[in-house]
Amino acid sequence: MVREMDPNKTSRAAAYRLWMDAPNPMVTFMKTLDVTNLVKLSRRRGLKFNMLLDWCIGKAAAGIEEFYTLPVGRKLMQYDALAVNTIVKNRAGGVSSCDVRFREDLQDFNREYLTYTARAAETCEDRDLSADCMVIGTSAIVATELDGAVGMNSGIFNNPFLIWGRYRKRFFRYVLPLSFQFHHAQMDGAQAGRFLETLQREIDSLK
- Residue 183: the pLDDT is 96
Convert the pLDDT of each residue in 80-101 to its tens digit.
999 999 999 999 999 999 999 9
Alpha-carbon distance of 117 to 59, in angstroms, equals 19
pTM summary value: 0.96
- Residue 175's Cβ-count burial label (10 Å; 0-12, 13-18, 19+) is middle
What are the extents of the domains in the chain? 26-205
Convert the pLDDT of each residue in 148-192 to its tens digit.
888 877 777 899 999 999 999 999 999 999 999 999 999 999 999
- Residue 156: the pLDDT is 77
Alpha-carbon distance of 146 to 168, in angstroms, equals 10
- Residue 1: the pLDDT is 86
- Residue 155's Cβ-count burial label (10 Å; 0-12, 13-18, 19+) is exposed
Tell me what the mean pLDDT of segment 140-145 comes to.
Answer: 93
**Percent of the chain's residues with pLDDT above 70:** 100
Q: Is it the case that residue 129 has pLDDT exceeding 90?
A: yes
Average pLDDT, the chain: 96
- Residue 7: the pLDDT is 94
Q: For domain 26-205, give the fold.
A: Chloramphenicol Acetyltransferase (3.30.559)
